[in-house]
């Protein structure tokens, strides 16, 4: 059914800044079409006033006015010839799309442990024997155990963690199965912060 005057947003020209709506975009286009610079200036200031009423919750921002003029410049594709009260040279950065993030493509022997686990295993291989290495080995093992549980390895996870820990550290880390089964990861106790309470305790 074709009704004169009735159209859909999907058939209309794409808005540059949709948050302001199509009427503001039309006002910007009208301002650009004015031949008198003075008229364009007055029209631009009127558009800014309307935009300000549309977004009153942003008035507390320090750069609120500058952002409105930046948006006006963007909606005109920087073709609106007026005297801007602010420098709009940086406005183009607002609409610049960020560069896509590079996804790490490091190959790991088994995916269910994840890249960080293998970084920890590599670190364990190069650590000197001692309490620090033992603590890191236990933390790593418990995380490996959680990962296996998430992948439904169930009761066999303890034996597999011991075997995998030895395998991926070239036999350097040999966990005790019974110790792993009874291990519970606890965060180290936090130190008391400074302040009146801490000072008060210190005085008693």
78 pLDDT band (50/70/90 cuts)?
very high
Angle at 123 between CA 119 and CA 128, to 5 degrees: 170
Mean of the pLDDT values across residues 129-148? 89
Q: What percent of the chain has pLDDT over 90?
A: 30
Per-residue pLDDT at 175: 86
CA-CA distance, 183 to 141, in Å (whole number)? 10
- Is the pLDDT reported for residue 50 higher than 50? yes
How far is it between the farthest Cα atoms of the chain?
87
- Is the pLDDT reported for residue 53 higher than 50? yes
Per-residue pLDDT at 25: 93
10 Å CB burial of residue 175 (0-12, 13-18, 19+) is: buried
- Is the pLDDT reported for residue 4 higher than 60? no
Per-residue pLDDT at 198: 45
Angle at 176 between CA 171 and CA 177, to 5 degrees: 110
The mean predicted confidence, pLDDT, of the chain is 80
Q: What is the DSSP letter of 171?
A: T
Instruction: Pick the range with the lowest mean pLDDT from 60-74, 89-103, 183-197.
Output: 183-197
CA-CA distance, 173 to 195, in Å (whole number)? 43
- Is the pLDDT reported for residue 13 higher than 80? no
- Is the pLDDT reported for residue 107 higher than 80? no
Counting other chains too, the contacts that 130-135 makes at CB distance below 8 Å and 24 or more residues apart are 133/173
Q: Cite the DSSP H helix spans in the chain.
A: 21-33, 37-54, 64-75, 115-125, 131-150, 157-168, 177-182, 196-203
Mean of the pLDDT values across residues 187-204? 47
pTM listed for this prediction: 0.47
């Amino acid at each position: 059914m074709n009704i004169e005057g009735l159209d859909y947003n999907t058939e209309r020209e794409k808005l540059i800044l949709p948050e302001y709506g199509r009427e503001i975009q039309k006002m910007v286009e009208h301002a650009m079409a004015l031949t008198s610079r003075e008229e364009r200036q007055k029209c631009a200031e009127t558009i800014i006033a309307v935009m300000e009423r549309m977004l009153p919750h942003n008035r507390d921002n320090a750069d609120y006015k500058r952002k409105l003029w930046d948006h006006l410049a963007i909606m005109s594709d920087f073709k609106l010839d007026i005297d801007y009260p602010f420098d709009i040279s940086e406005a183009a950065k607002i609409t610049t799309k960020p560069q896509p993030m590079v996804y790490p493509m490091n190959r790991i022997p088994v995916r269910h442990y994840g890249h960080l686990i293998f970084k920890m295993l590599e670190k364990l291989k190069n650590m000197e024997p001692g309490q620090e290495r033992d603590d890191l080995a236990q933390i790593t093992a418990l995380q490996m155990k959680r990962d296996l549980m998430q992948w439904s390895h169930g009761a066999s996870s303890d034996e597999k963690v011991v075997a995998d820990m030895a395998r991926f550290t070239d036999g350097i880390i040999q966990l005790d199965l019974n110790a792993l089964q009874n291990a519970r990861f606890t965060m180290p106790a936090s130190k008391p912060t400074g302040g009146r309470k801490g000072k008060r305790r210190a005085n008693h």
